[in-house]
A and B are shown apart, each in its own frame.
Chain A
Amino acid sequence: MTTYTDPPKESFRLSMLLYDTRYRSMTIQIIALMGFMLLAAWLINNTIQNLAALGKPIQFGFFTDAAGYDINQHLLEYDNQDTHLRASFIGLINTLIVAAMGCVTATIIGVMVGVLRLSRNWLVAKIMTVYVEMFRNIPVLLWIVLSMAILIESLPMPSAFRGEDPAATMKIFDSVALTNRGFYVPEPLFSRSLGDIHLFGQSSLRMDVSLDFLAFLIVLGLSIFAARKVTARAEAIQNATGVRPTTWYINLGIIVIPTMILLIALGFHLGYPELKGFNFSGGIYMRNSLIALWLALSLYTAAFIAEIVRGGILAISHGQTEAAAALGLRQGRIMRLVVLPQALRVIVPPLISQYLNLTKNSSLAIAVGYFDITGTLGGVTMNQTGREMECMLFLMLIYLIISLLISGVMNLYNNRVKLVER
């Protein structure tokens, strides 16, 4: 007969912290945490000592002092008596402008190149391969500096446009002037303008928003909304009867006519740049630093986007296309209904991380003297005030927020299109 005794009582021994897997992970984590906190404390302590020795403890008060420097390209009004905070804000807007412009053009070029690289035409595919390899394997900073050099050295001075027989002429029906100081393009003007609204009073974040522009956006948005309703109705009719009513001209009318009426009512016209004295006035002035940065970032990022698009399209197996064709779908619909939704699931996440890269690379603006957030906050403001610690903290924080916003958008999209798997 066997007797069962209780299992031996466990007593906790110190060595179990290390050799018992139940406690070991806890031990490791606590040691790691302590190590990290010691390191952090050491760094912070050093920093405080060093800053105290230099007589500049961490304070953010300098942000409200007058900046005292000019920013050569600004969308919102700014002068050198504005605060450092205002200058940083203008810089942030400039970063966002060049990032947005770059993302749009990079996507357009990238998609075109990516599709053409898959072309059955051998020559076209090879040209696109050369483009992609050339831009991917050469540093973006070199492209930026080179674009700037090309713009400065090869375009005419504004004074070359003067005189009876000028050495240079404006392009596209005398509306665009390409000079070595920058590009002058026509600006939209409204003769019966609704005026501006002033947001945020006199603070550093103040901005004027044009009501004309706002009205235009609202009307356009409403029209598109209405057009989508019409399409949805056509879809319903098709589902019920099998006959799809023709809607394209209704949609076109709904989108175009109200916006045209609005533009005419507001007295829309273009303001052309004109040569006054030694320089152009009127129109929108885009400095060559902005153009160079935009061009280089777009072309560089486009090479990466092209590879992403190509990979996405190749990832869709041929069977999908054939199955769709077997169902009797036409070429355009196969693309729209079968291939694209699946390819986009592969394409969009890396595409968004390319947008993120482009935004971060826009900080190289400092190499060509475009005043983005790195040029204002991390450049002139930091050098003038000598507040390296505060400026760098603030600068990194802003970039982190931008990155987190963009990756948040990416996660939302990923969750929306995620395949529901077993």
Chain B
Amino acid sequence: MSEHSFVRTEMLPEQAPPATSIGVIGWMRENLFSGWLNSTLTVLSILFIYYVLSGVIPWTFQSVWNAGSLTECREIMNATWGDTHHACWAVIKDRWLQLLYGFYPPYPAYPSATVSTPPPEGWLPSYFRPNLALILLFVALAPVLFGRVPRQLLVVTAAYPFLMPWLLWGGTLWVPVMTAVGFALLFGIAKYGQSTLGALGSIIAAAVVALVWWLFLSGPVAGLFADIIPIRLPVVESRAFGGFMLSILIGVVAIGISLPIGIVLALGRQSDLMIVKTLCVGFIEFIRGVPLITLLFVASVLLNYFMPPGTNFDIIMRVMIMVTLFASAYMAEVIRGGLAALPKGQYEGADSLGLNYWQAQRLIIMPQALKISIPGIVSTFIGVFKDTTLVSIIGLLDPIGLSQSIRANQEWNGIYWELFAFIALLFFICCFGMSRYSMWLERKLQTGHR
């Protein structure tokens, strides 16, 4: 045996990995400079980012906030920096109330008063009403959106559909309260009348009683209460609505109502009942086949023709109806996708448990189908919210409609980046927020199997 041994008997101590493959350098080598093509792309990207930022950042931050018109803005810029390549945020400062609330009167009882010249008895500009409606919206949504929020807040959710119109339009509190009483009657009789009237009888009775209440009784009763306990807000006409408030209003109404209608339409489209199915398919395909703008034209010029002669309800209501119908058709298709994606075994399992159609839908099918379609539902929401800008084409003053009138104004003629950047930012925050929420919800509801 040779005495020389070339086999190492003990382990070498662990060495640190090469400096080029760990830490910042390693990451950069991996992700930015892994080859000549990648390196070229990185350099080009850096140049591009530099080019964009070097234009945008000085423009945004070296800006004029105090000026009465674009000309004045440019004079200030020339005096300060020697060129006019700077943002003139003065237009936002001048018009932000308008962009947010349209022509919502700050003091409805005093038409000539403005925010800067409040009337002598002026208490608080009425902008608190849309603001409060928005805050309450979040409170009402919280228990629906997040599981950790106390369930008691669902009371706000139930009250919100009646509270919101009252806050925005004003009038006496008793009208929405009496409308809500109608719903209470409807559900109360349908639920507790079953023992005496039977399942079908109670539903019919509930519908009849509620209709009679709404059509004949709620108005006089509300008037009576209004005389005894006058709780009222000054009335604001629909045509004063505008700005971002209008977008949110139309968006929230359309989103809120389109989900249940969409579910019903999707169920109709999936059902075995031939006539119901045909009606649902016809409606969905018709709405999806035409652009929203034609439906808005229908709202603005035709919808009054469809009503009995003499009726005339206001344009915002008509637009809300059309946008809701539009959203429902898209929602129905998204939910139908979810229904179709469920394995057939789920339907058969529900049947084998002896559940009837509605029980099966409520307990087995819908929870899963809706979970599958969350991304689609939220992207429909985002789409509807973005599409509310189309109302500017039929003359409503949403932010885009207002931007056109501001740009047509002599003082701000020629301004565009600042205005559109502001509007775009508002929309971006809302839409981006919604899409992030849907991602979070998807992760939360993930139950392991796809």
Interface residues of A (CB under 8 A from B): 18, 25, 28-30, 32-33, 36, 43, 46-47, 49-51, 53, 119-124, 127, 133-134, 136-142, 145-146, 149-150, 153, 360-361, 363-364, 366-367, 374, 378, 382, 388-389, 392, 395-396, 399-400, 403-404
CB nearest to A50 among chain B residues: B305
Cβ-defined contact, A374 with B305, below 8 A: no
| Minimal beta-carbon separation of B386 from chain A (angstroms) | 4
Cβ-defined contact, A18 with B389, below 8 A: no
Contact with A along B408-434 (1 / 0, CB 8 A): 000000101000100110011001100
Cβ-defined contact, A153 with B386, below 8 A: no
Known: A121-B38, A123-B32, A137-B427. 11 other contacts (CB 8 A): A120-B34, A136-B431, A137-B428, A137-B432, A138-B386, A138-B424, A139-B386, A139-B400, A141-B392, A395-B294, A399-B290
Cβ-defined contact, A123 with B41, below 8 A: yes
Chain A residues near B432: list those with CB within 8 A: 133, 137
Chain A residues near B275: list those with CB within 8 A: 29-30, 32-33
CB nearest to B424 among chain A residues: A138
Cβ-defined contact, B382 with A137, below 8 A: yes
Q: Which of B79-125 contact A (CB under 8 A)?
A: none
CB nearest to B390 among chain A residues: A141
Partner of B393, one of A127, A361, A364: A364
Partner of A46, one of B286, B294, B307: B307
Chain B residues near A43: list those with CB within 8 A: 306
Cα of A403 to Cα of B285 in the assembled complex, Å:
9
Cα of A138 to Cα of B293 in the assembled complex, Å:
18
Across chains A and B, which 7 residue pairs bring their CB atoms closest together, nearest first? Answer: A149-B416, A403-B289, A137-B431, A122-B31, A360-B291, A139-B386, A363-B291
Chain B residues near A133: list those with CB within 8 A: 432
Cβ-defined contact, B400 with A142, below 8 A: yes
Contact A36 to B279, CB < 8 A, known contacts A46-B308, A145-B400? yes
Cβ-defined contact, A127 with B45, below 8 A: yes
Cα of A163 to Cα of B292 in the assembled complex, Å:
48
Contact A121 to B294, CB < 8 A, known contacts A29-B275, A46-B306, A142-B427? no
Contact with A along B285-314 (1 / 0, CB 8 A): 010111111100110011011111100000
Cβ-defined contact, B49 with A127, below 8 A: yes
A-B contact pairs, 9 of them (CB 8 A): A25-B272, A29-B274, A32-B279, A46-B307, A50-B307, A51-B305, A121-B38, A140-B386, A367-B393
Cα of A25 to Cα of B275 in the assembled complex, Å:
10
Contact count band on B = 35 or more
| Minimal beta-carbon separation of B160 from chain A (angstroms) | 26
CB nearest to A123 among chain B residues: B45
Cα of A361 to Cα of B291 in the assembled complex, Å:
7
Partner of A153, one of B45, B403, B414, B427: B414
User: Is B404 an interface residue, CB under 8 A from the partner?
Assistant: yes
Contact A138 to B290, CB < 8 A, known contacts A121-B38, A122-B31, A122-B32? no
| Minimal beta-carbon separation of A11 from chain B (angstroms) | 21
Chain A residues near B72: list those with CB within 8 A: none
Chain A residues near B435: list those with CB within 8 A: 137
| Minimal beta-carbon separation of A109 from chain B (angstroms) | 16
Contact A404 to B289, CB < 8 A, known contacts A139-B427, A141-B390, A364-B390? yes
Contact with A along B159-200 (1 / 0, CB 8 A): 000000000000000000000000000000000000000001
Cα of A20 to Cα of B308 in the assembled complex, Å:
39
Partner of A121, one of B45, B307, B404: B45
Cβ-defined contact, B416 with A153, below 8 A: yes
Most central of A51, A137, A139 by chain B CB within 10 Å: A139
Cα of A51 to Cα of B309 in the assembled complex, Å:
10
CB nearest to A364 among chain B residues: B293
Chain A residues near B442: list those with CB within 8 A: none
CB nearest to A33 among chain B residues: B275
Cα of A292 to Cα of B273 in the assembled complex, Å:
47
Contact A142 to B291, CB < 8 A, known contacts A29-B273, A137-B427? no
Cα of A206 to Cα of B389 in the assembled complex, Å:
37
Chain A residues near B420: list those with CB within 8 A: 142, 145-146, 149
Contact with A along B249-292 (1 / 0, CB 8 A): 00000000000000000000000111110010000001011111
| Minimal beta-carbon separation of B344 from chain A (angstroms) | 13
Cβ-defined contact, B306 with A47, below 8 A: yes
User: Is B46 an interface residue, CB under 8 A from the partner?
Assistant: yes
Cβ-defined contact, A119 with B41, below 8 A: yes
Partner of B428, one of A36, A134, A360, A396: A134
CB nearest to A353 among chain B residues: B288
